[in-house]
Amino acid sequence: MNNLTYQIRQLCEQKHAVIMAHYYTLPEIQEVADFIGDSLALAQKAKTIEADIIVLCGVHFMGETAKIICPDKKVLVPDLNAGCSLADSCEAKALSQLKAQHPNALVISYINTTAAVKALTDIVVTSSNAEKIVKQIPTEQEIIFGPDRNLGAYINKVTGRKMILWEGCCQVHNSIQPEQIEELKQQYPHAIVLAHPECNGTVLEKADVIGSTAALLNFAKSHDYEQYIVVTESGIMHELQKHCPDKQFIPVGAICKDMQLSTLDKLYNCLLTEQPEIQVDAEIAAKARQSIDKMLSMS
Binding site for ligand 13P (CB under 6 A): 38-40, 112, 126-128, 170, 198, 212-213
Q: Choose the stretch contacting ligand SF4; rule: CB under 6 A; options: 82-90, 128-136, 237-245, 263-271.
A: 82-90
Check: CB of residue 271 under 8 Å from CB of residue 8: yes
* Residue 39 touches which of ligand 13P, ligand SF4, none (Cβ within 5-8 Å per kind): ligand 13P
Percent helix, strand, coil in the chain, to 5, is 45, 15, 35
In whole angstroms, what is the distance from residue 295 CA to residue 16 CA? Answer: 28
Task: Give the list of residues 6+ apart from residue 264 with CB closer than 8 angstroms, or none.
Answer: 4, 5, 8, 28, 29, 32
Residues 87-126 that bind ligand SF4 (CB under 6 A): 112
Q: Are 37 and 20 in contact (CB under 8 A)?
A: yes
User: Under the criterion CB under 6 A, does residue 259 sit at the interface with ligand SF4?
Assistant: yes
Q: Which helix (H) or strand (E) holds 53?
A: strand 53-57
Our CB check for ligand 13P shows the closer of 129 and 156 to be 129
Find the shortest distance in angstroms from Cβ 59 to ligand SF4: 4
Contact flag: residue 220 with ligand SF4 (CB under 6 A): no
The one-character DSSP state at 170 is -
Contact status: 239 vs ligand SF4 (CB under 6 A): no
Which of residues 258, 285, 288, 295 is near ligand SF4 by CB under 6 A? 258
Please identify, using beta-carbon distances, which residue of 156 and 213 lies nearer to ligand 13P: 213
Task: Name which of ligand 13P, ligand SF4, none residue 85 binds, using a CB cut-off of 5 to 8 Å depending on partner kind.
Answer: ligand SF4
**Is the bond into 138 cis (omega within 30 degrees of 0)?**
no
The single residue among 8, 84, 90, 195 that binds ligand SF4, judged by CB under 6 A, is 84
Is residue 235 within 8 A of residue 252, CB to CB? The reply is no
59 binds ligand SF4 (CB under 6 A): yes
β-pairing verdict for 53-57 and 106-110: unpaired
The only residue of 25, 30, 65, 85 in contact with ligand SF4, by rule CB under 6 A: 85
Rounded-to-integer distance, Cα 54 and Cα 12, Å: 10
Q: How far is the CB of 49 from ligand 13P (least distance, A)?
A: 18
Q: Which residues form the interface with ligand SF4 (CB under 6 A)?
A: 59, 84-86, 112, 170, 172-173, 198, 233, 256, 258-259
